[in-house]
Structure 1
Amino acid sequence: VDNDALPTHNITPLPTAMTAAAFLGIAWYLSVEVSVRLLSRATRSSLYFWSCLACSWGIITHAVLIVLLDFKIWESYGAIVLIHLTWWTYVVSQSVVLYSRLNLVLQRLETGRYVLYMILVNSVVFGLGTVVLGMVARHPSMVANLGRANLIWDRIELAAFFLQETLISLLYIRSTAQHLHNVALLGTNARTTRRLLRHLIGVNVFIILLDCSLIGLCYAGFFFLQGYYKAAVYAVKLRTEFTILNQLRSSLPGSSEHESA
């Protein structure tokens, strides 16, 4: 096959386009799976349900939109606006998913309130700030003036959300480790609960490593792949969190199966 004849040739090399397609497939598959599981099994009155649903559909629609824009199917300014709005939806919702189950392992409720304040501040300053700057900077009349500033801010925003999600993951790890040393908190099936809590620690370490890889890709200058990889990373994080947090909700003392997904 002649690469010059392919519609992606004028946009990006074929290997890069194929890599982006792989990330796209991962993001779509995992997000759709989470959505189906949520709608078929979850209690629909909880913050956890709505944050998971917003995150999964934010990833799905964001990935569709960047494909339409990058492959010149929909090049209007409206596509850029929707890309930024769907990005904000899934990035902020991801942190809310973690927050909504944090009370299961926290021993001090005040800590949870501080986490919520951090999420709210970041969602406004680095979330809505990125949306507004991105929409203004990508307007045809402003690209020359604000394009470089937007790229710099994008790296700052990525670092801010990386720090936020890393802090939440470290809080999970610390609180989970405390549970492992407190027999009273483990319930009647202590052995199973210990195994689950160790799994929770492993999942949060895995999430931190995924975020590190995303930071590395962004700062290495792979702008085209960054959007697709970010969607895939957030989909993987959502799917792993969805599984382990539901298991945690069902296993700890005082939990209810009815509230689990």
Structure 2
Amino acid sequence: MSTSPVNSSSSSTSWTSPGAGITGGYNGNSETLRIFIVFFAGLAMYNAAELLITIFLNFNRYSGLYFWSLFWAGLGIIPYALGFLLKFMNFTTGNMRWIAIVLLTVGWYPMITGQALVLWSRLHLIVRDERGDRIIQYTKWMIIIDAIIFHIPTTVLTFGSNGDVKTTTFATGYSAMEKIQMVGFFLQEVTLSSIYIVETVKILRTSLQPHTRTTMKQLVAINAVIIGMDLGLLGLECASLYILETLLKGVIYSIKLKLEFAILGKLVKFVGGARPGQGPRQASVGFLTTDRKTNAQEREMNISDFVDLSRVRSDLTHPSRASDSVPSPRKSSRLAGMDSQYDMARFQHIEDISTLQEGSSTNSSRPTSRRRQRTRDMAV
């Protein structure tokens, strides 16, 4: 069965004509456009395949919303780009045209909504407390509602505009709905990216560590780039350059996914050392974690940052009872002074033991009782 007359007349118009490409493929004479179609579709699929390989190589466990949203968003780009390649190049005609329509539609769902879920799945890393819980809940329902009110009507109009019954009516409706859903998904992306930008700026104001500030600045820059890319796509859609907009959409979404995967991975490492209940702002200042679940090796690594363990013969990874006790507000100044003197004497004791052990090879005849007497005198 040949393509409908409506499809043929519509597809023969210039690709710069408003709505060109909505119905049927491209039958114009521009070889440059054909090269662009093949190039951008191939680039989008290549970026998606590279992202999928990177995901499986970097994740230790193939589970969680972040993993699956990345996976499906990246995987959706491949049938989306392939479907438009088959459609615009007229590789599928007649009844075979439905293969291209099904492919681009099936890929469009996870590519768009999956992109939003990638950002949403990491919001808990930068928002906290009751306000953070409300933000997470509101944005979750925003994504669900947008998926229902934008995906379903657009799908119906897509199949109708490429069918044989009232094709012109469906194409007119699709042209309007395409702009509506583009604006809706653009506002969704701007909302999520703006939350990252605002919360990241707050973290930057309290952060002291240079690595943390670098990561936060990169997060702000990437979310600003994402908004800029969405603005470019929205501009092409408002200009009714449908072919160019759909070709660039797959490439841009693949680039955005790769950027988000890179920076959100750094964000996970940034907050990975924070204690339960400790926000990223506290971790960014560089506090020493004292969680009970931290093993002895991690505590030793933290202590070694400011203590020369080679000169210490006692176990400093576990605080002594004297240093572990917290002075009461009612404690007298005399007792506080004694505690300070005791702490000073204890560290001097450690230093003296290290010094005596270094000189034991040359002065081994020194009586043991004399050394003990010296350390007791210094402790007093």
Q: For residue 256 of structure 2, what is the aligned residue in structure 1?
A: 237
Question: Is the contact between residue 31 and residue 57 of structure 1 (CA under 8 Å) also seen in structure 2?
Answer: yes
User: What's the CA shift string for 1:5-44, capped at 9, x where partnerless?
Assistant: xxx9834512222233332233122211110011222131
2:265 corresponds to 1:246 = yes
Match of 1:53 among 59, 63, 71: 71
CA shift at 1:104, angstroms?
Answer: 0.8
Q: For residue 95 of structure 1, what is the aligned residue in structure 2?
A: 116
User: What's the CA shift string for 1:29-88, capped at 9, x where partnerless?
Assistant: 221111001122213111111111111111011111111121111232242133222111
CA distance in 1 between partners of 2:214 and 2:246 (Å): 35
Unaligned runs of 5+ in 1: 1-7, 257-261
Alignment of 1:49-88 (within 5 A): 49-75=67-93, 76-88=97-109
Question: Is the contact between residue 11 and residue 71 of structure 1 (CA under 8 Å) also seen in structure 2?
Answer: no
Pair 255,13 (structure 1): closer, same or farther in 2 beyond 3 Å: farther
Match of 2:145 among 107, 115, 121: 121
| Greater RCO, CA 8 A, separation 6+ | 1
- Normalised by the length of structure 2, the TM-score is 0.61
Q: For residue 244 of structure 2, what is the aligned residue in structure 1?
A: 225
CA distance in 2 between partners of 1:175 and 1:12 (Å): 50
2:42 corresponds to 1:25 = yes
Counting matched residue pairs gives: 244
Pair 44,11 (structure 1): closer, same or farther in 2 beyond 3 Å: farther
> SS at the partner of 2:122?
helix
Q: For residue 172 of structure 2, what is the aligned residue in structure 1?
A: 148
Question: Is the contact between residue 179 and residue 237 of structure 2 (CA under 8 Å) also seen in structure 1?
Answer: yes
Q: For residue 182 of structure 2, what is the aligned residue in structure 1?
A: 158
Structure showing greater Rg: 2
Unaligned runs of 5+ in 2: 1-24, 276-380
CA shift at 1:220, angstroms?
Answer: 1.5
Question: Is the contact between residue 85 and residue 131 of structure 1 (CA under 8 Å) also seen in structure 2?
Answer: no
Match of 1:111 among 112, 132, 135: 135
CA distance in 1 between partners of 2:185 and 2:51 (Å): 22
CA RMSD of aligned residues (A): 1.9
User: What's the CA shift string for 1:117-161, capped at 9, x where partnerless?
Assistant: 000000110122211232233322131222111111001110100
CA distance in 1 between partners of 2:63 and 2:218 (Å): 27
Instruction: State percent identity of aligned pairs.
Output: 29
The code of the aligned residue for 2:47 comes to L
